[in-house]
Amino acid sequence: MKKLIISIILILAFALSGCHFPGFQSDTAVDPEDAMATEISKILTGTPIQIEPSATTIIDVTSPTEEIVKTEVFEPAEPVEPEEPQLTPAPTHTPLPSPTATLASTDPALNLGDPDWVDTMNNGDGWPTGLDKYTAIKFENGFLKLTSSTGVDGWRVTWPTIANFYLEMTLQTPECEGSDQFGLMFRVPADSQAGKGYLFGISCDGRYSLRRWDGSVMHSLIGLTANDAVKKGPDAVNKLGVMARGANLALYINGQKVNEISDSTHLQGRFGVFVGGMNVNDLTVWVDQIRYWDDP
């Protein structure tokens, strides 16, 4: 065995020392003995070549599966009109319509023809509006609405000044009790700042009265007097009228003459509406219309 190995080594030594591989040319001279010693060492030792494992783990990466999203296409629906909200109206006092029945045979309006002046209360033209110490006034839905702010009478007057006349007012109140009063004010002197005049009124319990205010004292010319001509209670519609000729004052309720008196303290002046009472808070009178005939 040793002889065989020695023979192989001698053959290799002869080959390396006598030739070179085609195309190979070394720039550096290699000692034949060193080269041969290296090759003999490898053969003798049979040292295996160990391959180090890669430090990086190779992972088989597959391409992600794409998620397919299914989109449904909807056809547009026919437009639907929104329903109107059903609102519950706040409770309010609705005034009764003005009386339209046949006039009483004693009603002066039957024979006077067309009035010289009419206010249907569609607006506040000719009236002082807003708040004062005693009343608040507003115009709404064809009504003058005068509200008492205290327990005493308060009023508002308009601008015409008349002397001899038939003056008529249609009114009602949505809420009243007992002796709460409201009505017509007339012959208010132009120089009195509405601080004087006559007050012809009715009460919620079916009475009427005539008073004269001199600016500091209220004089009772006719005390509260019950009369069937007065329509009682809340929402009752009444029509008050005054026929004034000089000192003579005739009083009418719903076309019926209820009294007559003579008083010459005031012979001309402006007119308006008053309200007053202590039984109902914010007592309000609703005036539908005022009109007059001049020199009837």
Q: In a structure prediction context, what are the per-residue pLDDT tens digits for the chain, which is 296 residues long? A: 544 444 444 444 444 444 343 333 444 444 545 555 545 444 444 444 444 444 444 444 444 444 433 333 334 444 444 444 343 333 344 444 444 457 889 999 999 999 999 999 999 999 998 888 999 999 999 999 999 998 899 999 999 999 999 999 999 999 999 999 999 999 999 887 889 999 999 999 999 999 999 999 999 999 999 999 999 999 999 999 999 999 999 999 999 999 999 999 999 999 999 999 889 999 999 999 999 999 99
User: Residue 251 falls within a domain, yes or no?
Assistant: yes
pTM tops 0.85, yes or no? no
Number of structural domains, the chain?
1
Q: Judging by beta carbons within 10 Å of its beta carbon (0-12, 13-18, 19+), is residue 1 exposed, middle or buried?
A: exposed
Instruction: Determine, yes or no, domain membership for 50.
Output: no
Helix (H) or strand (E) holding 238: strand 238-245
CATH number at residue 192: 2.60.120.560
In the chain, the amino acid numbered 84 is E
Alpha carbon dihedral 110, 115, 121, 126, in 10-degree steps, equals -150
CA 41 to chain centre: 109
The region that residue 271 occupies, defined by phi over 0 for left and psi between -120 and 50 for alpha, beta otherwise, is: beta
Q: What is the pLDDT of residue 33?
A: 53
As given in the structure block, the two tokens for residue 93 are 């006092």
Q: DSSP labels for 158-184?
A: -S--BSSEEEEEEEE-SS--TT-EEEE
Q: Which domain holds residue 201?
A: 108-294
How many of the other CB atoms lie within 10 Å of CB of 263? 15
- Give domain status of residue 135, yes or no: yes
User: What are the CA-CA distances from residue 56 to residues 62, 63, 102 (Å)?
Assistant: 18, 20, 115
Structural domain includes residue 95: no
User: Domain for residue 283, yes or no?
Assistant: yes
The answer as to whether 208 is a domain residue is yes
In a domain, 189, yes or no: yes
